[in-house]
Amino acid sequence: MSKTSLSRKDPSTLRRVDPALRLGQVGDGWGNLLAQDGEFQIDDELVFEGDRDPGPPIYRITRANVYPLDRSRRLYFYQRVSPDRAAE
């Protein structure tokens, strides 16, 4: 299933991400993922593996920056979105 065809309303169809990709400080509703360039796109929506169903928190990638220690990787900043706002 391609990332562009994912349903943004049904958390069971969102991309599940390994929490080990988190890097640095994270808050309840925000944080950074360290991944290869192109792994995520701005506005991708995701849930973390292990988050409780039903209704796991949905996060949206809002920014990507080059990781200074390895230019082939990116720091992807994510923020929590409300399930009722996921399709906006």
Domain ranges of the chain: 3-85
pLDDT for the residue numbered 17: 94
Q: What is the pLDDT of residue 71?
A: 97
Between CA 28 and CA 79 the distance in angstroms is 9
Q: 8: Cβ–Cβ under 8 A, 6 or more apart, which residues?
A: 14, 45, 86, 87
Nearest to 46 by CA among 7, 1, 88: 7
Instruction: Give the CATH class of 3-85.
Output: mainly beta
Name the phi and psi angles at 86, rounded to 5.
-60, -25
**pLDDT per residue as tens, the chain (88 positions):** 334 334 445 656 688 999 999 999 888 899 999 999 999 999 999 999 888 766 788 999 999 999 999 999 999 999 999 655 544 4
